Amino acid sequence: MSVEPPKSSSSKPSTSSQSDLSVTVIGGGTMGNGIAHVFAQSGHPVTLVDVSKEACERAFATIEKNLGRMVTKEKLTEQQMQETLQRLSTSMSIQEGCQDAGLIVEAVPEVLQLKRDVYQDVEAVVEPNAVIATNTSSISITKLANTLKHPERFIGMHFFNPVPVMSLVEVVKGHQTDQAVVDAVMAWSQGLGKVPVPVNDSPGFVSNRVLMPMINEAIFSVYEGVATPEHVDEVMKRGMAHPMGPLRLADFIGLDVCLDILRVLYEGFQDPKYRPCPLLVKMVDAGTLGDKTGQGFYSYK
Interacting residues with ligand 3HC (CB under 6 A): 66, 69-70, 73, 137, 160-162, 164-166, 208, 243-244, 249, 253, 257
Distance between CA 246 and CA 237 in Å, rounded?
9
Catalytic status, residue 234: no
Count CB-CB contacts under 10 A for residue 241.
7
Q: Which is nearer to ligand 3HC, 99 or 293 (CB)?
A: 293
Considering only CA atoms, which of 204, 212, 157, 151 is closest in space to residue 38? 157
The one-letter amino acid at 80: Q
Assign 5 to helix, strand or coil: coil
Q: Which is nearer to ligand 3HC, 42 or 208 (CB)?
A: 208
Minimum distance from residue 210 beta carbon to ligand 3HC (Å):
11
Catalytic status, residue 127: no
Q: For 35-85, give the DSSP string.
A: HHHHHHHTT--EEEE-SSHHHHHHHHHHHHHHHHHHHHTTSS-HHHHHHHH
Q: Check 42, 137, 140, 221 and give the catalytic one.
A: 137
Q: Check 42, 208, 216, 221 and give the catalytic one.
A: 208
Convert 262-298 to b/e letters by CB count within 10 Å (16 or more is b): bbbbbebeeeeebebbebbbebbeeebbbbbbebbbb
Q: Check 22, 158, 189, 221 and give the catalytic one.
A: 158
Q: Which is nearer to ligand 3HC, 5 or 246 (CB)?
A: 246
Q: Which is nearer to ligand 3HC, 150 or 242 (CB)?
A: 242
Question: Could you say which DSSP state residue 145 is in?
Answer: H
Q: Check 170, 189, 207, 221 and give the catalytic one.
A: 170
Minimum distance from residue 127 beta carbon to ligand 3HC (Å):
29
Catalytic status, residue 44: no
Q: Which is nearer to ligand 3HC, 14 or 208 (CB)?
A: 208
Catalytic status, residue 158: yes
Minimum distance from residue 262 beta carbon to ligand 3HC (Å):
11
Minimum distance from residue 143 beta carbon to ligand 3HC (Å):
17
Question: How crowded is the C-beta side of 141, counted as CA atoms within 13 Å?
Answer: 31
Minimum distance from residue 9 beta carbon to ligand 3HC (Å):
35
Q: Which is nearer to ligand 3HC, 37 or 173 (CB)?
A: 37
Minimum distance from residue 33 beta carbon to ligand 3HC (Å):
9
CB 23 within 8 A of CB 105: yes
Minimum distance from residue 89 beta carbon to ligand 3HC (Å):
20
Distance between CA 57 and CA 41 in Å, rounded?
18
CB 169 within 8 A of CB 39: no
Q: Which is nearer to ligand 3HC, 14 or 41 (CB)?
A: 41
CB 297 within 8 A of CB 229: yes
Q: 157 - beta bridge partners?
A: 171
Distance between CA 10 and CA 187 in Å, rounded?
15
Catalytic residues: 137, 158, 170, 208
